[in-house]
Structure 1
Amino acid sequence: MVRVRDNGIGIASDTLPTIFDMFMQADTSLERRQSGLGLGLTLVKSLVELHGGTVQACSGGIGQGSEFIVRLPIRVAAPPKQAMVPAIGEQATTVPRRILVVDDNKDSAESLAILLRLTGHEAHTAFDGDEAVERAAALRPDVVLLDIGLPVISGYDAARQIRAQPWGKHMVLVAMTGWGHDEDRQKSREAGFNAHLVKPVEHAVLAQLLAESPAA
């Protein structure tokens, strides 16, 4: 067991249950001094669970510091088979997909790609709308996780171009964006997206969507 404790900003009690969720950020104020992506603790939890361990967050509240406790199993001669199954959260991925992650925030795209690989998927990245279309043509992924606000061309336009190609007609396109109004969802449908997920996206929701997506 390893404990790491600080006397920093702390974590509010209502945030503790979801602090390890994907895209979760304890400080969402506009004036926050740190601009994290909300993926670091998800990666920590994923890596610890890959080794059969657990991680726990504790805090007395705002301004009272935080403590993280990592527990890892002691190696034995014949470890149980279930300890060797890669898992994120409570479920291991059983159906691998080829996935293209598109986001102009490179750290966000690459971090999500790492998470997907940890669950058994083949993950690739692109960072603008044109590159998304080019990589989709070359890779023929099962699923494209596509941000909307992209440089060069928008995610909507990228989706339309992919759908216009014979190889893209049956590809699963998923909008993953901070834009979640009804008109944004309508635009997604019109551009050819199969689903519209608003950040922060719960891992269980994304995992279920990927599990139900057909393989190319």
Structure 2
Amino acid sequence: VVSNLLNNAAKYTPRGGHIVLAAERDGDHALIAVSDNGIGIPPESIGEVFRMFTQVAHAARHVPGGLGIGLSLVRSLVELHGGTIQAASAGTGTGSVFTVRLPLADRGAATGAAIGPAQSDTAGIAALRLLVVDDNRDAADTLAALLSVMGHDVVVAHDGHQALRMLDGLHPHAVFLDIGMPGMSGYEVAEAVRREPGHDGVMLVALTGWGGADDRARTAQAGFDAHLTKPATVAAIEAVLREVTARSAPSPADG
């Protein structure tokens, strides 16, 4: 998180500028702030800086290229740790401040007194094997990094044909599958997977920028079990993973 924020500040602060990293305690939270006197953020763009695949036009003029994934990943990682992140700027040319608020560890947890209930929620749940398929390498690697931080084993494929070749050896619990891929679309990959009885147990999760009722009906018809609209939130991803875990758990009849 800190590395991404510092890199972001350096990218948008001209040579000779200043970047400050500060940390302090605020009650039961730690505050980490990265501030700079760089190009700043226009007021109308503050709400966009954490959206995946969005690069603020003002920033793009100074540093063209890039998919605007870094800050989206930062927010996801912070939220996974129970924290929040906020961006602030007085406007163009005034610099910006990114403030991370994270809960401090419970001192009682060090003695073991507070560990029991938390451990009982996750004990016995092994890491899931997951396959992420997306022709956009940055998007695939970002989602894979997020899933890895959540504690799962993740493999990435960058096209549909590669994904199908990997399935037999990997036997994943779930596949996060981009729809709009060249050569072989996500719909075609899903249909190919569903034609193979050996892949009956794998859960297919659609990744798409379209989330209307017709779009969800089409992914369901193609054989998908879940539909995530880009940019998928941490909460939505966690909900899908809970469903994958529930499906992969042995039933009482199996024991």
Taking structure 1 as the reference length, what is the TM-score of the superposition?
0.74
Confirm or deny: 8 A CA contact 2:78 2:100 kept in the other structure: yes
- Report the Cα offset of residue 61 of structure 1: 4.3
Q: Which has the higher helix share?
A: 2
Residue number in structure 2 paired with 1:68: 98
Counterpart-to-counterpart distance in 1, 2:164 and 2:179: 13
Is structure 2 residue 215 aligned with structure 1 residue 215?
no
Listed as ranges, the gaps of 5+ residues in structure 2 are 1-22, 24-32, 116-120, 250-255
Is structure 2 residue 218 aligned with structure 1 residue 187?
yes
Aligned-residue RMSD, C-alpha: 3.6
Deviates more, 1:94-103 or 1:169-178: 94-103
Residue number in structure 1 paired with 2:54: 25
- Report the Cα offset of residue 146 of structure 1: 0.3
Confirm or deny: 8 A CA contact 1:53 1:70 kept in the other structure: yes
**CA separation of 1:52/1:150 partners in 2, compared to 1, >3 Å: closer, same or farther?**
closer
Deviates more, 1:125-134 or 1:3-12: 3-12
- Report the Cα offset of residue 136 of structure 1: 2.0
Is structure 2 residue 70 aligned with structure 1 residue 40?
yes
Residue number in structure 2 paired with 1:205: 236
Counterpart-to-counterpart distance in 1, 2:137 and 2:108: 38
1:123 aligned to which of 146, 154, 159: 154
SS state of the match for residue 120, structure 1? Answer: coil
Residue number in structure 2 paired with 1:146: 177
Larger gyration radius, structure 1 or structure 2: 2
Instruction: Using the aligned pairs only, state the percent identity.
Output: 42
**CA separation of 1:53/1:210 partners in 2, compared to 1, >3 Å: closer, same or farther?**
closer
Confirm or deny: 8 A CA contact 1:25 1:36 kept in the other structure: no
Is structure 2 residue 89 aligned with structure 1 residue 59?
yes
More contact order relative to length (CA 8 Å, sep ≥ 6): 1
Counterpart-to-counterpart distance in 1, 2:103 and 2:230: 34
Counterpart-to-counterpart distance in 2, 1:4 and 1:110: 27
Is structure 2 residue 218 aligned with structure 1 residue 168?
no
Residue number in structure 1 paired with 2:163: 132
Deviates more, 1:142-151 or 1:173-182: 173-182
**CA separation of 1:70/1:202 partners in 2, compared to 1, >3 Å: closer, same or farther?**
closer
Confirm or deny: 8 A CA contact 1:11 1:66 kept in the other structure: no
Report 1:75-90 matches (<5 A): 80-81=109-110
Counterpart-to-counterpart distance in 1, 2:76 and 2:38: 25
**CA separation of 1:53/1:184 partners in 2, compared to 1, >3 Å: closer, same or farther?**
closer
**CA separation of 1:49/1:132 partners in 2, compared to 1, >3 Å: closer, same or farther?**
same
Q: Which amino acid aligns with 1:133?
A: L
Residue number in structure 2 paired with 1:88: none
Q: Which amino acid aligns with 2:87?
A: A
- Report the Cα offset of residue 80 of structure 1: 4.6
SS state of the match for residue 248, structure 2? Answer: coil
Taking structure 2 as the reference length, what is the TM-score of the superposition?
0.64
Counterpart-to-counterpart distance in 2, 1:170 and 1:28: 44
Counterpart-to-counterpart distance in 2, 1:98 and 1:106: 19
Q: Which amino acid aligns with 2:56?
A: D
Q: Which amino acid aligns with 2:141?
A: E
